[in-house]
Structure 1
Amino acid sequence: MERERSVEAPPLPRSLPAEGQVLYGRNAVHELLRADRRRIHALWATAAAQEAEAWIDRDLARTVEADELTALVGTGDHQGVAAAANPYPYVELEDLLAVERPLLVALDEVQDPQNVGSIARTAECAGATGLLLCRHRAAGVTPAAAKASAGAVEHLPIAEVRNLADALEQAKQAGAWIYGAAGEGAGDRRPVPYDQPEYDGGVVLVMGAEGSGLRDRVARTCDELVALPLHGRIDSLNVSVATGILLYEILQRRGALDNGT
């Protein structure tokens, strides 16, 4: 029996910081290059990817085999492209709140990087001001989240906060209204239909973790809880799907207000 060939990953560049990331996936790496928010230390691509993607600079890309990329990033989901880059450039909450009529999405301990990435993609496409993530017990902007976002995380300002309830109080002090998505409410608070609030002024939409929803203190911090109607046999929506529905309802309501209708 022929022994399987041992595949070694390409070496990481010595200039890559300890907290640097190796991103993968064609959209994720393309948007990394387009956004130009962080230094790129190396770019790897298969010959097939270089042939298919005109944006890959063949003078900069190091040609590798697909199995070498798999060994490098730990998954075969790399689509033939990877890049080593500086750590993700998180922003400060104060910067997000300084925008006129900010529209923020806050995630309360959402732990699945696929959901974080999908929500970041929707938020960026919807023109949201930014995204708030919990620093602990939650997924951050990992390479998996970057790929799931199709590179949207490279354009969307994202802040990590130590205590989400405190951050929401800070947003209130800056004049924002806080709306939490809660199908069953919290304690004796019952949610209102999602299309009832006007969503005028600064808005923070708070989405709860998969399965557990909003934590009690976070829910109590919200000015109002909102709920989507569920008419089927499943009792909840995926958090990224629910975020998309609510964000576009907010856009519609804010657009109607802007148009004077």
Structure 2
Amino acid sequence: MKSSKLYGLHSVQAALDYSPKSINKAWIDAQRQDKRLVQAIGALLDLGIEPEKTERKKLDKLAEGNNHQGIVIEVDMPAELSESDLKTAVQSLGETALFLVLDNVQDPHNLGACLRTADATGVHGVIITKDNATGITPTVCKVASGAAETVPVYQVTNLARTLRWLKDQGIWVFGAAGEAEQRVYQADLTWPLALVVGAEEKGMRRLTREQCDVLVKLPMLGQVDSLNLSVATGVLLYEVVRQRMT
């Protein structure tokens, strides 16, 4: 299991809340005594982890120059799961499937934000590509605010093959595409569903698009022709939630 550094009070608190057992070590600014830092130190001590008091220069180095707010921790990173794990999860589902598929998404901020929304909307897992895409990184964990530990992430080698297999299991594959004729609000999203969102700027690859049963789009009423990937994903997933709750 690989380990990495997380920094900043928000990221540290998320680790304390959602994955305290993953924390191995901590460093704190010996000169700071603000309330939130003291609370974080108390929580670490409760876990049996005594933070090492150090100078700011060392914290700056550990956080690679980023704003650490006086605290850095070392954590075991959440692991990406395999295609075999995905098959086991799909076949053991006891409710209507909802998977988010990200085709070659490379920005860790987008992946982190998508994981956070996936957690909020009850997604059963996020499927990512192995090549030309970001995996679970410290930045992903920071942006996800705990969702990297709660939402299963499945890394697959051949996305088109995985989508074909999902369809064989009775899961409909819906792709988000700006050129689609049907708006997402016109589609029935209550079926077992894998929602595919393509990479930043490029969208879905051709082989991925060919596996989609339905293409849907978001209405764009202003001057811009697209939304940020994670924003669009959030709108799409909450439309799924709205339909299923209704």
- TM-score, structure 1 normalization: 0.82
Alpha carbons 1:25, 1:79 under 8 Å: kept: yes
Partner of 2:24: 41
Partner of 2:200: 210
Residue 172 of structure 1, CA deviation:
1.3
Alpha-carbon spacing, 1:25–1:134, altered in 2? closer, same or farther (3 Å):
farther
Residue 166 of structure 1, CA deviation:
1.5
Q: How many residues align?
A: 234
Spell out structure 1 runs of 4+ moving beyond 4 A: none
The correspondence for 2:158, drawn from 163, 166, 181, is 163
Alpha-carbon spacing, 1:46–1:116, altered in 2? closer, same or farther (3 Å):
same
SS of residue in 2 equivalent to 1:123: helix
The correspondence for 1:248, drawn from 228, 238, 244, is 238
SS of residue in 2 equivalent to 1:180: strand
CA distance in 2, matches of 1:150, 1:58: 18
Partner of 1:198: 188
Alpha carbons 2:175, 2:212 under 8 Å: kept: yes
Alpha carbons 2:7, 2:71 under 8 Å: kept: yes
Counterpart of 2:73, as a letter, is A
Does 2:36 align with 1:52? yes
CA distance in 1, matches of 2:234, 2:44: 37
The 5-angstrom pairing of residues 55-70 of structure 1 reads 55-56=40-41, 57=43, 59=45, 60=49, 61-70=51-60
CA distance in 1, matches of 2:178, 2:160: 19
Partner of 1:90: 80
CA distance in 2, matches of 1:124, 1:199: 18
- Overall identity of the aligned pairs, in %: 35
Alpha carbons 2:119, 2:150 under 8 Å: kept: yes
CA distance in 2, matches of 1:155, 1:65: 34
CA distance in 2, matches of 1:220, 1:104: 18
The 5-angstrom pairing of residues 169-184 of structure 1 reads 169-184=164-179
Residue 27 of structure 1, CA deviation:
3.0
Partner of 1:6: none
* 1:14-69 residue CA offsets vs partner (Å, 9 max, x unmatched): xxx6x322222333332323333863321223354773142433532223344322
The 5-angstrom pairing of residues 91-240 of structure 1 reads 91=81, 92-97=85-90, 98-99=92-93, 100-184=95-179, 190-240=180-230
Alpha-carbon spacing, 1:248–1:37, altered in 2? closer, same or farther (3 Å):
same
More helix by share: 2
Unaligned runs of 5+ in 2: none
- Computed over aligned residues only, the root mean square deviation of the Cα atoms, in angstroms, reads 2.1
The correspondence for 2:6, drawn from 23, 44, 55, is 23
SS of residue in 2 equivalent to 1:198: coil
The correspondence for 2:63, drawn from 61, 73, 83, is 73
Identify the range of structure 1 (95-104 vs 124-133) with the bigger mean alpha-carbon deviation. Answer: 95-104
CA distance in 1, matches of 2:236, 2:176: 9
Partner of 1:32: 15
- TM-score, structure 2 normalization: 0.86
Counterpart of 1:93, as a letter, is L
CA distance in 1, matches of 2:88, 2:21: 18
Counterpart of 1:182, as a letter, is A
Alpha carbons 2:104, 2:132 under 8 Å: kept: yes
SS of residue in 2 equivalent to 1:101: coil
CA distance in 1, matches of 2:33, 2:171: 45
